[in-house]
Structure 1
Amino acid sequence: MVDPVADPLAEVVLHLLVAFGLGALIGIEREQSESAGAIAGSRTFPLFALYGALVWGFFPDAFPFALAMLAVPLTVAYVARVVYEGDIGLTTVAAALLTVLLGAMTMHSQQAATLAVVVGGAVTVLLTVKDPIHEFADRIERRERLASAKFVLVVLVVLPALPDREVEALYGLNPRFVWLMVVFVTGLGFVAYVLGRVLGTERGIAITGVVGGFVSSTATTVSMAEKTVENATLYHVCGFAVVTASIVMFPRALIEVAVVNPELLPHVVLPLGAMTLVGAVAAVVLYWRTTAEETVEAEELENPFRLRPALLFGAIFAVVLLVSEYANEWFGASGIYATAFFSGLADVDAMTLTLSRLAADGTVEPAVATTGIVIAAVANTFVKAALAWALGTRKLGQLVTLVLGIVVVSGVALLAVVV
Structure 2
Amino acid sequence: MVDPSVAPLSEIVLRLLLAAGLGALIGLEREQSESGGSFAGSRTFPLIALYGALVQAFFPAVLPLVVGTLVVPLTVAYVGKIRYEGDIGLTTLVAALVTIVLGAMTTHSDRGAVVAIIAGGAVTVLLSVKDPVHEFVDRIEESERRASAKFILVVLVVLPALPNRSLDAFYGLNPRFVWLMVVFVTGLGFVAYLLGQTLGPERGIALTGIVGGFVSSTATTVSMAEKTTRNAALHHVCAFAVVTASIVMFPRALIEIAVVNPDLLPHVALPLGGMTTVGVIAAVALYWRTATDETVEPDTLTNPFRLRPALLFGAIFATVLLVADYANEWFGASGVYVTAFFSGLADVDAMTITLSRLAAEGTVSTQVATTGIVIAAIANTFLKAVLAWLLGTHRLGWLVSLVLGVVVLSGLAFLVV
Category of TM-score, reference length = shorter chain: over 0.9
CA RMSD of aligned residues (A): 2.2
Task: Give the equivalent residue in structure 1 for 2:411.
Answer: 411
1:11-90 mapped onto 2 (5 Å cutoff) = 11-90=11-90
**d(CA) in 2 for partners of 1:293 and 1:120?**
38
Tell me the residue number matched to 1:153. 153
- Partner Cα separation in structure 1 for residue 109 and residue 292 of structure 2: 57
Which whole-Å CA distance do the structure 1 matches of 2:81 and 2:345 have between them? 60
Distance 2:33 2:233 in 1: 49
Give the TM-score normalised by the residue count of structure 1.
0.92
AA partner of residue 116 (structure 1): A
- For 1:346, the equivalent position in structure 2 comes to 346
Using structure 2 for the length normalisation, give the TM-score: 0.92
Q: How far, CA to CA, are the matches of 1:64 and 1:156 in structure 2?
A: 30
Which ranges in structure 1 are unaligned for 5 or more consecutive residues? none
**Given the alignment of the two structures, is residue 321 of structure 1 paired with residue 298 of structure 2, yes or no?**
no
Amino acid at match of 2:238: C
Q: Would the aligned equivalents of 1:232 and 1:393 in 2 still touch at CA under 8 Å? A: yes
Aligned to 2:398: 398
Give the structure 2 partner of residue 141 of structure 1: 141
Task: Find the aligned partners of 1:376 and 1:236 in 2 and give their Cα distance.
Answer: 27
The letter for the 2-side match of 1:102 is L
Deviates more, 1:94-103 or 1:144-153: 144-153
What is the CA-CA distance between 1:319 and the residue it aligns to? Answer: 0.6
CA pair 29-158 structure 1, distance change in 2 beyond 3 A: same
2:297 paired with 1:288? no
Kept in 2, the 8 Å contact 1:5–1:11? The answer is no
Contact 1:256–1:352 (8 Å) recurs in 2: yes
**More divergent stretch after superposition (57-66 vs 399-408):** 57-66
Distance 1:228 1:75, change over 3 A: same
Listed one character per residue, the Cα deviations across residues 146-198 of structure 1 (whole Å, up to 9, x for unaligned) are 32233223223322222222111111111121112112211211221122122
Give the Cα–Cα distance (whole angstroms) in 2 for the partners of residues 161 and 14 of structure 1.
Answer: 46
User: Deviation digits for residues 352-379 of structure 1, max 9, x if unmatched?
Assistant: 1111111111111122112211221122
Match in the other structure for 2:265: 265
Name the residue aligned to 2:237.
237
Residue equivalent to 2:370 = 370
Cα distance, 1:233 vs. partner?
Answer: 1.9
Cα distance between partner residues in 1 of 2:223 and 2:394: 16
SS in 1 for 2:107: helix
Q: How many residues align?
A: 414
Contact 2:219–2:300, Cα closer than 8 Å, also in 1: no
Q: 47-56 or 395-404: which moved more?
A: 47-56
Kept after mapping to 2: 8 A contact 1:19/1:106? yes
Name the residue aligned to 1:335. 335
Q: Which runs of 5+ in 2 are unaligned?
A: none
Q: Deviations over 1:79-101 (max 9, x none)?
A: 22223322111011111111222
CA deviations on 1:263-299 (whole Å, 9 max, x unpaired) are: 2223222222222222222212221112357543453
Stretch moving more, 183-192 or 19-28: 19-28
Please tell me whether the aligned partners of residues 205 and 298 of structure 1 are also in contact (alpha carbons under 8 angstroms).
no
C-alpha distance 230-270 of structure 1, shift in aligned 2 (>3 A):
same
Residues 226-235 or 269-278, more deviating = 269-278
Q: CA deviation at 1:65?
A: 3.0
Instruction: Name whichever of 12-21 and 320-329 sits farther off.
Output: 12-21
